[in-house]
Chains A and B, each alone.
Chain A
């Protein structure tokens, strides 16, 4: 059976559409471009803030603030950059647990 040029184009269009839809589904697990930009800006601003706070200020209070900031940045990184919010719960818990144990122990060492 010969396909007419019009049918061929339609078939090709349907394949392209199906591929695009699959691509679209896969994208759903990654943050949207706007969220990615906002995340990068927030993490960078918090980094500059930590460096700015370090210029002066009470040493112990500074240590606690900066370590807490690092913990918060780490949480965002694990959730959105590593994408573990969509990972199996054991993996998510292990990595966030590591960060929580290390950060809280470090915070305690400054009290």
Chain B
């Protein structure tokens, strides 16, 4: 009987997490969207300059970083699922894994950026490096904020407040984390690979 009810009635549509966070996420997406489009216009006007800059980028680190963010998102979804099953310790372990992946991303990104600064590359080197530095640093700051949010949820989860009936906090953190991952997928393809 239960199986019948479940198969005939799809789950009710609802906002995953806090609506205020989703408004913030939409604003963030709009900002990144404009940034990407302006990049595209500048690249379209100076394809050779952008291609030369991109050729000097090593793809190993950003590829690893994409894998880190995807693993972090997978762990985040696992965390939300565990809390929804009432499995608090497993949920917290998955959140810790998300932070570990985020930490890996930040460490590699920092290494990459320091390498660029050591080569004397700055915002005023040329248009490509201006976009490269501002986009990657802006995204880096978003990963940092994502880490802070996940860490806060991980800490709050100690007292077992996230139950199948009270998932708002975890889902809100997850929404933000996935947004940061989504933006990176486009950024990685556009800035590092597409030339």
Residues of A within 8 A of B (CB): 19-31, 33, 36-37, 39-40, 43-44, 47-48, 50-51, 54, 59, 62-64, 66-67, 69-70, 73-74, 77-78, 80-84, 86-89, 91, 94-95, 98-99, 101-103, 105-106, 109-110
Contacts and interface: CB of A to CB of B under 8 A. Distances in A.
Contact of B81 (A27, A50, A82, A101): A27
Contacts of A66: 189, 193-194
Interface string B61-84: 001001100110110111011001
Interface string B161-195: 00011010000001100110110011011101111
Contact of A77 (B43, B181, B188): B181
Interface of B: 2, 6, 11, 13-16, 22, 25-26, 29-30, 33, 36-37, 40-41, 43-44, 51, 59-60, 63, 66-67, 70-71, 73-74, 76-78, 80-81, 84-86, 164-165, 167, 174-175, 178-179, 181-182, 185-186, 188-190, 192-195
B31 to A, nearest CB: 11
B66 A22 contact: no
Contacts of A63: 193-195
B109 to A, nearest CB: 16
B178 A106 contact: no
A22 B85 CA distance: 9
B33 A29 contact: no
A102 B193 contact: no
Given A81-B77, A109-B43, 20 more contacts: A19-B164, A22-B165, A23-B164, A30-B77, A40-B71, A50-B188, A50-B189, A63-B194, A63-B195, A67-B189, A70-B186, A78-B182, A82-B178, A86-B14, A86-B16, A87-B16, A88-B14, A89-B13, A95-B26, A98-B33
A73 to B, nearest CB: 5
Contacts of A37: 74
The 6 closest A-B CB pairs, nearest first, are A63-B194, A70-B189, A40-B74, A109-B40, A51-B63, A23-B164
A27 B85 contact: yes
A77 B185 contact: yes
Nearest to A84: B16
Given A22-B164, A66-B193, A106-B40, A101 B181 contact: no
B63 A83 contact: no
Nearest to B19: A91
A83 B16 contact: yes
6 contacts: A21-B2, A27-B85, A29-B11, A48-B67, A51-B63, A102-B36
A36 B67 contact: no
Given A54-B59, A62-B195, A81-B76, A23 B40 contact: no
